[in-house]
Structure 1
Amino acid sequence: MRLGLAANRLHHATRDAGLFRWLRACAPAIRELGLELHAVGRTHDAIVRAGLLAGHPGLKRYPYGRDGGLMRLVAEVVGMPGEDRTLDGAIYLIDPVDPSSVFPEAVALKRQCVIHGKPFISTVASACDWIENERIHAGLDPDPAADRFHAFESQTLALIAHDAMKPQMLAFAAEHFDVLSRFARRVGTGTTGQRLNEMAWSRGWPQDRPWVDRFQSGPMGGDAQIADLVLQRQCQRVVFFEDPHVARQHEADIQLLERAVTTVTDAAVCITSPAMAARWMAAVRRRAALRRC
């Protein structure tokens, strides 16, 4: 498996920066999985200077961002015809106040990952969670250090979908109703929350209480309300089915929620597409079965 890798300066500027916290936690699994990390210049150089992943043949260097390194990652997420240059997704550890995080190539990297159903990972927590899920899919034993990501009974889950993606969100929630019901709380915006409640009531959830606590609709500020929960560390996981093909009047609110997730990089996991949500659920079920054995 090949992933693009980039990190804003905040995440590699100090010894305990986010990139290094992730690598120290997950380097053994990266080696076990034979994961290739195609790292943009400054990110690659920081890993080497820190002495991390030494000797790992899967660490590849790309040009600096200013020389087109991030643009190459975008093209390779899409895939280059006739060339062995296709990435399976991207890890981009974002500093929400770094101007480069909103450069066209940074925005395009996420968009193309979502369009092609590939992981786009923007927080340290998401990167650790994704590694554990891939370990489980590879048939490896659960890592006890990752148990915190599976302690759903003490966590809040946000379920958000744009209009064109609402049917897929409802289908996802119906298929995995048993697992999603383990979360201590579920929150959502406007219409999505109402339709999820109706689905839950049809499945036997008590009619006198909501399955999802509803906030305002997205255009009326619901994304901002959930962003505040994330910033207060009262929401640990966001499943956000975004429609990348439609311009939205409340784009700023959507970006606000995404920035909130990256602000609390060690505390929030974000899943950005139906394909990745399904893969997460498959790993959750397999991991739970292994833990029972």
Structure 2
Amino acid sequence: MRIGLAANRLHHENTDAALFRWLGACEGGIRELGVELHAVGRTFDAIAAAGPLAGYPALKRYPNGREGGLMKLVAEVVGMGTPERTLDGAIYFIDPVDPSSIFPEAIALKRQCVIHGKPFISTVATARDWIEMERIHAGLAPDTGADDLNDFGRQTLALIAHDARKPQMLDFAAEHFEVLSQFAQRIGTGTTGQGLNEMAWSRGWPREQEWIQRFQSGPLGGDAQIADRVLEHRCQRAIFFEDPHVARQHEADIQLLERAVTTVTDEAVCITAPNIAARWAQAVVLRQSRR
């Protein structure tokens, strides 16, 4: 498994930064899985100076960002023709107020991950969750250090899908209805929420109750309403099926939600690809069966 790795300056400038909070929680899992981490220059240098992953041969250095390191990650997410030049996803710890987070290569990294159905991980919580998901699929015992991420009875889940992705969201929710119903609350934007409620009622959910609380549609501000929930620590997980091929008039609202997630990086998990969401739901069932 080969994963690109980058972190904005805020997230690697000292040993308490987000990059090192993730490595502190997940170094054991990284070593167990043998994950190759292909780190952009300054991110690699910060890890080498701080000491985690000492002696780990699968930590690779790429050029600094200004020398094209992040651009190389984008190209290798797409795939450069050989396994050695193809990444299986990317971890990019984003500081939402760092100008480099909206550089073309940063935006392209996420877009190409979504297009190619690969994980794009932008928060500490998502990175921790991803390592535990892969550990479970590898047949390893649950890590009690990830129990907080799996305490769904105390969490709110946001389910959001753009127009072209709404059928996939409905199919995903129907297939994994029991897992998603474990959350204390589910929230979503208008049209997607209505479709999900109708699906839940067809599955026997009480008709006098909404399975998912509906906010406004995306163009009318639903993404902003959910972003506010995230910032208030009242939404801990978002499954957001994005359509990367269509220009949207409410793009700023979508970016607002994404920035909210990265602002509370230790708390918010965000999944943006249907196949990764399905893999997560499968891991939940496996993890619970091993407890």
Q: TM-score range by the shorter chain?
A: over 0.9
Q: Distance in 1 between matches of 2:147 and 2:84?
A: 36
Q: Measure the CA separation in 2 of the matches of 1:237 and 1:30.
A: 22
Shift of 1:83: 6.4
Gaps of 5+ in 2: none
Q: What's the secondary structure of 1:117's corresponding residue?
A: coil
Which 4+ runs in 1 deviate beyond 6 A? none
What does the per-residue CA deviation read over 1:2-55, in whole Å, with 9 as the maximum and x for residues that have no partner? 000000001011220000000011111111111100000000000000011000
Distance (whole Å) between structure 1 residues aligned to residue 10 and residue 58 of structure 2: 24
CA distance in 1, matches of 2:185, 2:19: 30
Give runs of aligned pairs for residues 220-231 of structure 1, distance below 5 A: 220-231=220-231
- Does structure 1 residue 96 correspond to structure 2 residue 62? no
* Counterpart amino acid of residue 70 in structure 1: L
What is the identity, as a one-letter code, of the residue corresponding to 1:141? A
Q: Which amino acid aligns with 1:66?
A: R
Give, in angstroms, the shift of residue 179 of structure 1.
0.9
User: Which residues of 2 match residues 182-261 of structure 1 at below 5 A?
Assistant: 182-261=182-261
In structure 2, C-alpha distance between the alignment counterparts of 1:82 and 1:19, rounded to whole Å:
29
Identity between Structure 1 and Structure 2 (%): 76
Q: Which residue in 2 is equivalent to 1:21?
A: 21
1:157 aligned counterpart, secondary structure: strand
Report how far residue 162 of structure 1 moved: 0.1
Give, in angstroms, the shift of residue 84 of structure 1. 2.5
The alpha-carbon distance between structure 1 residues 154 and 41, as it changes in their structure 2 partners (threshold 3 A), is same
In 2: Cα distance, 1:258 partner to 1:101 partner: 11
Amino acid at match of 1:266: D
Q: SS at 1:235's partner residue?
A: coil
**Deviations, residues 120-141 of structure 1 (Å, cap 9, x unaligned):** 0000000001000111111111
Question: CA–CA distance in 2 between the matches of 1:27 and 1:14?
Answer: 17
State how far apart, in whole Å, the 1-side matches of 2:37 and 2:280 are. 21
Q: 2:232, 2:14 → 1: CA distance?
A: 25
Q: Using the alignment, how far apart are the partners of 1:173 and 1:151 within structure 2?
A: 19
What is the match of residue 12 of structure 2?
Answer: 12
The alignment's TM-score, normalised by the length of structure 1, stands at 0.98
Per-residue deviation at 1:81? 1.9
Give the aligned length: 291
The one-character-per-residue Cα deviations of 1:83-117 (angstroms, maximum 9, x if unpaired) are: 63000000000000000000000000000000111
Structure 1 letter corresponding to 2:56: H
User: What are the ranges of 5 or more consecutive residues in structure 1 without an aligned counterpart?
Assistant: none
Counterpart code for 1:3: I
| Secondary structure of the corresponding residue to residue 117 of structure 2 | coil
The AA in structure 2 aligned to 1:162 is: H
Secondary structure of the residue aligned to 2:160 is strand
- Whole-angstrom CA distance in 2 between matches of 1:17 and 1:82: 34
Aligned AA for 1:203?
R
Instruction: Report the secondary structure of 1:159's partner residue.
Output: strand
CA deviation string 1:181-236 (max 9, x = no partner) = 11000000010000000111111111111000000000000000000000000000
**TM-score, normalised relative to structure 2:** 0.99
What is the identity, as a one-letter code, of the residue corresponding to 1:241?
F
- SS in structure 2 at match of 1:266: coil
Deviation at 1:248, TM superposition (A): 0.2
